[in-house]
Amino acid sequence: MAVMPEPPRLLPWVVMSELNSKILAETAALAAELRQKFIGDPAGELRAWLKIAERREALVYRVYGKKQRKKRLPKPESGGERAAWDTLTAIWRQEAKHTESIRANLVSGLMSSGSLAPALKKLIGQFEGQLLCSLTPSRPDLGQALAQLIVKAGTALAPKAVPKFAGELDSMDLREFFGLAETLEQTARQAYKYMYGLLSSFRTKLEKPSVDLHEFQRELYLTYLEEDFHQRAFSRMTTWMDTKGQFQHGLIEGECVQQIIDLLPLPSEPIRGAEPRGNAIYVLTDGGMGELAKRHGIELIVVQKKE
């Protein structure tokens, strides 16, 4: 199976934690189970992963929504709070685009034929529930509520469908909330990474891989980069908080935004024939931060990575 290239790590102190190891282990377990369920049917296996991604995107779209933003950041006038509001809003908007893209591929795109059996949906839900429970050992009630939400709510994934989830989410301080978001982004990152490799393997077995499949694979890679950026953005925002889950004093909005921009994936090589101008930065994706960067005098120029 093809290996997806890792995005550049701009912060050397960002290392794999025990949490990441758990995510990798749970993802590998699910991958092994799905591989057995879909022997000889790689397209079906990829549809299953897309279904997982659809459920997760629907969840984070709601968790990052305006209601949660207003509750946790009631007065985003300046400083770190303003930067956090704008960053979370930008990520929320991009997650909405991810949801639309996945649903398009499932409903009318390359992966539209066929559907998942109820037993398989239940299996996916059980694995997701186990994953979320294992990722929240310090808040077991939250883990159980998340698991219940994932398993029971199906593709709707409305937090109000499981009142306990809403209660646990509301009880989290902002630092805990950012930590949960970081975890959810890490699970997405791993799922997209696996889908990219699965599609790469599938394409190599075809005599004449279609242009559509090539574009779909590129889309998966860009989404992977964006989820990776979201994960690191939430990780960075936790460093703006004190031990009580409040913003540290003296944070400057522009500096905080620059910290987030610095996490975007850059081309591995200089762009030939492109002279740097002003505050322009060449990136593989703007991570949804294009308008926010422009507001702070930074131009993000998205370049296409050659495969």
Average pLDDT score over residue span 262-285: 79
Please work out, in degrees rounded to the nearest 5, the angle formed at the alpha carbon of residue 304 by the alpha carbons of 300 and 307.
150
* Lowest-pLDDT range of 122-126, 163-167, 200-204: 163-167
* Lowest-pLDDT range of 46-55, 56-65, 125-134: 125-134
Task: Specify the pLDDT at position 152.
Answer: 45
pLDDT digits (tens, 9 = 90+) for 75-113: 888 899 999 999 999 999 998 888 788 777 766 555 555
Reported as a pLDDT band with limits 50, 70 and 90, residue 43 is: confident
**Distance, CA of 188 to CA of 194 (rounded, Å):** 10
Q: Over the chain, what is the mean pLDDT? A: 75
List, as one string, the DSSP characters of 30-75: HHHHHHHHTTT-HHHHHHHHHHHHHHHHHHHHHHTSHHHHHHH-S-
Residue, of 167 and 185, whose pLDDT is higher:
185
pLDDT digits (tens, 9 = 90+) for 55-72: 777 777 777 888 878 888
Helices (H), 172-295: 174-204, 211-238, 253-261, 290-295
Q: Is residue 151 part of a domain?
A: yes
Residue, of 27 and 294, whose pLDDT is higher:
294
Reported as a pLDDT band with limits 50, 70 and 90, residue 14 is: very low
Those residues whose C-beta lies under 8 Å from the C-beta of residue 30, and which sit 6 or more positions away, are 52, 124, 127, 131
Q: Is residue 212 part of a domain?
A: yes
Average pLDDT score over residue span 170-187: 80
Q: Is residue 99 part of a domain?
A: yes
Range of the domain at 78: 18-238
Reported as a pLDDT band with limits 50, 70 and 90, residue 236 is: very high
Q: Is residue 306 part of a domain?
A: no
**Distance, CA of 194 to CA of 3 (rounded, Å):** 9
Q: Is residue 198 part of a domain?
A: yes
Q: Is residue 293 part of a domain?
A: no
Q: Is residue 111 part of a domain?
A: yes
Task: Specify the pLDDT at position 16.
Answer: 34
Residue in this structure with the two tokens 């889950």, named with its chain if needed: 245
- 61, 86, 90, 191, 233 from 260: Cα distances, Å: 20, 11, 11, 23, 6
Domain count of the fold of the chain: 1
Q: Is residue 206 part of a domain?
A: yes
